[in-house]
Structure formats: structure tokens, C-alpha cells
Chains A and B, each alone.
Chain A
Amino acid sequence: MRILPPKIWRNKDTHYALSASVCEKCGNVIFPARASCNKCGSFKVKLVKLSGKGTLLSFTKSHQIRTGYEKESPVYFGLIRLDEGIEILAPLVDVDDDPKDGSRVEATIRRLRVDSSNGLIEYGTKFRLIENE
């Protein structure tokens, strides 16, 4: 497993700004952003930044370890409906006990993984519970 700077660079909008595309023809929201609509096939899409806020629909506490992410295990993954209407599965942070379905969550930038060979660290989006909104 190698972390390569060009890959982190080209994914910066996805991970640091939650950049999505919106189809100008059918209104579909596509995340990660693409230059085509995955619903109607149109190429007329525009880039938008997602709010990063959403509602937790469900979650799982995973004990599976992946190379580079060893320190994160066990990890909660949440199925989140973002306020823009799309559903994504993403890691949850700062969660010690099982969260409640229906909780409000927001995106935050955290460490994703570490390259053991060159020491590079990759950062990206995870979600945390919002205490008071």
C-alpha cells in the first residue's frame, strides 16, 4: 500500500470540500463529482460543494482491518443522508458508543491512513455527531 501525492492532490475537492456534481438536466446529485450524470447520462453537470451536514440513517461497528488503517479498528461506519438528499457510507469519528439512528452529523477532516514505507499521511472526510444544532 503506497500513498501517492498525485492521487491525494486530485482527490482534494472530494475529500476536503465534499465536491459533488449536479445534473442540469434532471437535478440528480452525483458524489464523488463526475462529468456525467449517473441517472440520465447527460454531460451537462455543474460542480457544487455539499454542506457536509446530514442525518445518520444506520451504522455498523466494523472490526475489519485494512492495510494502512490499522489504528482505526474497530471503526464505526455510518450510512448518512446528506441534506442535499444523497446517501453515503463514511467513517464516523469521536464515537465511543453506538450512536442513535436519526442523529445529526457533520463532516470533519481527519487522518485517513498512514503509509508505513514513506511516512506520508493521507487526510480526508469523516463524520462526527453534532451535539446541538
Chain B
Amino acid sequence: MTDAYVSGASMIKVDKYYESNAIDLAIAAVSQLEDQLTTKKPDMLFLANAYSESTEEQVLLANKLARTLGYEIPAFRVESGDSSGGSAIYSAYLAVKSGIAKSVLVVGTEKLSDFPTSHLNDIISQNLDEEFSYRSGVVPQAYAAIQMKMYMKEYGVPREYFAEWPYHMHKYASENPFAYLKFPVEKEAILSSQIVSEPLRLFDTAARSDGASAVLITNHEIGKKISETPVKIEGVEMFTSHFDYRQLKAVQGALKPWREFRPDFYEIHDSYSVTAAMILEELGLERGKSLYMLDQIQVNYSGGLKARGYPGGATGVYQVAEGFMQLAGIFKGKRVRDANRGLVISADELGSVAITIGLSR
């Protein structure tokens, strides 16, 4: 089988864009790949977007984007909640690996900034089962809050423990020009921020925002032609499971094949501080202590969902773009030391879907 490469990546700053819709943002990201796309038109397009029916009152987005770019190629929207990005990358990987496509354009785009919190909460709650949870008025934050309480009880950690995550994410994001919350924060400010769902506070949650990112996935031949630094996709794994308060089964499953990989850095899907801790512990850090060990692991130098920002289903595409830029030595924020191998973990809101993407240079 052919090998697949990331041969180009771009993104716009994660932010509020009241003057642009999801297609406008997508074009802004894709336009930065103009040179590469002129050399080789893509054979397929995968668009990652989770919430357009509710946020844009739009469907058929992939076709609309392809048509806008002047392409008459197969174009698919991939929707898998917040793991849409990772799922779209997986789809593109399959297309290139199989030899059906030589070059695939993956675009993630999402608009979450147009709405008041109450409406956005309603949209994000569509991730829950419809019959009981959604209709009962449950919000995903409640699951994360209880997960956090259970974690605190299990490992005997204080509330202060979780402040480590936003503290580090903001520190990293302050160096990333594409980050939404590009400023450091003190731990006191984190610990006294607004209560979302006790004991979960605002700084424990992802910063909802707008964004778009584009990634070119090609075979080796095209990769060499359009990029000085094509990055090899060592593999993509996906695992789906039920939500579990006590463990991230999907993450465990999607990590299993990577035991021998030993990445130098990670980009993980930190919906909540507690999610970050639980993922880090699946990566091998000590349970109940992982957030005190952030100096020992190169994780989310983008600033993560917490501070780079959380553009819904586009997030996974950002993560892969950031991984590519780290390995190509062109990331504009905090650089990874000795970047040879990176692992991206794309997941949905509560971690019942996980996609792992291994990259190497």
C-alpha cells in the first residue's frame, strides 16, 4: 500500500468572526495553500464540521466549499461531533492509502461565536442521547463536573490540582499567534473564575470560538513535489465506546496500537481539565499526579482547546496542522524539542470517540 503524508497545512487564528460564515473561514484557511493547490489540484475534499445545521442553518457544506473553490471532485462532510476533524483526517488517510486518491484536501471549519451561551449549550447538548438526556435539559458540563468530583475523590487531589492545566495551556497559547486566548493567567484567577457546574469552573472548560484549518494529505510522489518537508502519517486509529465517568475507554482503545511509537510531543483534545488529566494518564503519566508533571511531557504547545481555542469539529484538523508545523519546524508558537514524532488525539466532547494520528518526519 501507498504511504500517506501531510504535505501542507494552514490555519486562521481561532477567534470570533462575526463578519464571516463557515465557508468564508474555510476559504481563508485554504487560500494559504494556494501554491500547493495550483501545482496539484486535490482529487477529493473532506470537510470537518460538527454543528452547521444548528449554527449556520446549512447543510451540503462540502459541495458548497468545493464549488466555491472551483473543484468538481468528490466532496464529503464528515460529522462526528468534536471528533469530526480527526475523522476527516482518517477518511483522507484511507483515500490516499488505498490509492484511490493521490491528494486530498481536508478542511475543518466551525462557527460557535454567533450565539449566546444558552443557545450554544443547547447545540453542544445535541452530543447527548436525544430521548432522555437532551430532553431532560442535561448539559455535557454536568458529566465533566461529576467526572472531576470522582477523580478528586479517587486520587485525593484538591481543587487546585486542576489549575495546572489551564495555567500551562495559557502559557503556551501566549506564544501562539493563532491562539484565541493569547495571554497567560495566574492560578488565583483560574481558581476564582466563574463556576460552570460545581466544582468545574470556567477555566476548566474549552474556549468556544470560530476557526478553520486546512491540511493536504498526499502520497509520497506528490508530497515531494509540493512540500520541502512532507510529514509521514504513520497510522490512524479510531475507537468508539460508551461514555464512562471513571475511564476514557475510547482513548485507551485508540492508543493501544501506539505502544512502541514513543512520540516526542502530543496534541490532545482537552475538553475539560479533568479530560486532559485522564488522557495524560492513558499516555503513561502517574494517575492522580499527571497535571503536576506537565514539565515532563511536551503536550499541547498550541495552547489546547483551553487556550488555542475550541472551534468544534475543526479542532482535529488544527491539531494535525500543528503537528505538521512542529515536525516541519515552521510552527510559529512554542517549538517542541527534538521533534521527530508526534501523536494527535482527536476526540468528541466527552471522550466516547477517539482518533489517534501518528506523525513522523
Residues of A within 8 A of B (CB): 1, 11, 14-15, 31-32, 38, 58-70, 72, 75, 77, 79, 87-91, 112-113, 122, 124-126
Contact = CB atoms under 8 A, between A and B. Distances in A.
B118 A62 contact: no
B198 A60 contact: yes
A18 to B, nearest CB: 9
A32 B130 CA distance: 9
B109 interface: no
B52 interface: no
A14 B130 CA distance: 11
Contacts of B13: none
B146 interface: yes
A90 B134 CA distance: 10
A67 B118 contact: yes
22 contacts: A1-B119, A11-B135, A32-B132, A38-B242, A58-B146, A62-B142, A62-B198, A63-B197, A65-B121, A66-B125, A68-B122, A68-B137, A77-B138, A77-B142, A77-B145, A87-B245, A89-B133, A89-B142, A112-B135, A112-B136, A112-B137, A126-B136
B179 interface: no
Residue of A59, A88, A89, A112 ringed by the most chain B CB atoms within 10 A: A89
A122 to B, nearest CB: 7
Residue of A11, A63, A126 ringed by the most chain B CB atoms within 10 A: A63
Given A1-B122, A11-B135, A58 B150 contact: yes
Interface in B159-196: 194-196
A97 to B, nearest CB: 12
B149 interface: yes
Interface in B95-123: 117-119, 121-122
Interface residues of B, number: 31
Looking at chain A's contact residues, the main secondary structure is strand
B137 A58 contact: no
Given A68-B137, A77-B138, 8 more contacts: A15-B131, A32-B132, A60-B197, A60-B199, A64-B121, A65-B117, A70-B118, A90-B132
B285 interface: no
Contacts of A60: 142, 145-146, 149, 197-200
Interface string B298-337: 0000000000000000000000000000000000000000
B131 A11 contact: yes
A88 B137 contact: no
A91 B136 contact: yes
A6 B195 CA distance: 36
Given A58-B149, A77-B138, A66 B131 contact: no
A106 B150 CA distance: 23
A66 B136 contact: no
Nearest to B139: A64
Contacts of A32: 129, 131-132
B353 to A, nearest CB: 15
A13 to B, nearest CB: 9
Contact of A124 (B119, B122, B136, B145): B136
A66 B135 CA distance: 11
Residue of B137, B138, B141, B194 ringed by the most chain A CB atoms within 10 A: B137
A60 B122 CA distance: 18
A35 to B, nearest CB: 13
Nearest to A77: B142
A81 to B, nearest CB: 12
Given A58-B149, A65-B117, A124 B135 contact: yes
Contact of B245 (A59, A79, A125): A79
Nearest to A33: B131
A39 to B, nearest CB: 9
